[in-house]
Structure 1
Amino acid sequence: MNYRAWRHRCWLIPYMTRKQVLDELKKSTRWSELHVADNCCFHYRRSLLLALRDSHLENRENFLNVESETHLLWKEELRWDEMLIRRYQGRESLWIHRRFLSQWWIEQLITVDDTYLPSTPLVGVFVTQEIQLLSECLNAPADEYEESRAQAELAALYILWISKQVPIVEGKLEDRLSSISISMGKLDDVLERACRAEKRRLWTDLLGLAVAVAADQP
């Protein structure tokens, strides 16, 4: 029933005004913070954000302007999601939400870089920030419920997802993985370290890597 209720709210979004969409985004924040394992509300927020994005396209709002409403909303949503990820370990719904946010954000940053040619590419800055988040997840202290292990795996798979979903950043990821303070090595090294044995073969096969995992098999 909970799923049906959220689906109904999603159905109503096209009939909302921009102000109503913004109000719904604000009102759903607290509920999401109290139910971080429930993906339904995060899916609803994604639908609201997409409606705002489409609205800004129709109104010819310039997203490249860092002061634009859509730009600021998306940036704040990324910051808020990261805060929840740090607070609640091993919650897959939070990482799914981050994938959605990051994909469109990276696409816009690429456009900004290509248009204005900044001295420090914004995509590179964002990738470095995400790898730093991965670093912290990989080095979180172990706990009896294995939430830190789940967090490390979700973080590693998030980085893998970015590299495959947005191919232009794959080289940047590899460069920065080996350059940050803890020197994590290449992407396959990260997966080897973070993923459980039963999942490691799947992800390494997807990467097309010749990583021997036979030793992990009983």
Structure 2
Amino acid sequence: RRPRRIDSNLMHMKATEFRQFVLYLGPALFKGFMPARLYKNFLLLHFAIYCYSSNKFSQHWDKAKSCIEVFVEQLAIIFGPKVISFNVHALLHLDQFVRKLGGLNNFSTFPFENFLGAVKRKVKVTRHAAAHAVKQVLRVRLMMLENASLLSIRPLKYSRNKGDNCCFIGERCVLLDDVSLDGTIKAKENRISLKEEKFSKKNGSYQLEAGCTLVDRN
């Protein structure tokens, strides 16, 4: 999803957009713009959520737990106890759930949020809307099961336009430099050919010391 302006779209942003800011955009966009104290506290949340997002970072979950605790504590100091809402308090229990259920992606509700628009478009009544929505969804599911031709897989597409052409291929972060006329990656015999430009150097933007102390790498 292409990022939207925060100042004019904050009240209408989806949860997936907030996740995008916490995991990827925030550390870069807020640096130098947000006051240092707030930025460092935000990085604690960023680091913890990034680690909790996947089982492959499970070796860092102990440190992520400490970062969440410090983040919530600092949040109350900076903005006052009134900001410690139920949602903020729930962050303290993330460690418990990821250890029981796996990384956050294992029990994310984002797929349900993405489907809400389709459900709302199916609702044509004002009374008993929930029951009507369930019936409509079940009807569509039955149609799809009866007619497999309704199922389709969208082709994988990419762009070489600056700002849209950065992606991960395995563990490598690359800039895509060549694209077919229709913008579709064409696969043959389970192999994909791309012309890519590799990043020659990678540097972390911050370093996490013991006790969740953040050190600016610059």
TM-score normalized by the length of structure 2: 0.27
**As a proportion of its length, which structure holds more strand?**
2
Output the TM-score relative to the length of structure 1.
0.27
Between structures 1 and 2, the one with greater helix share: 1
Larger radius of gyration: 2
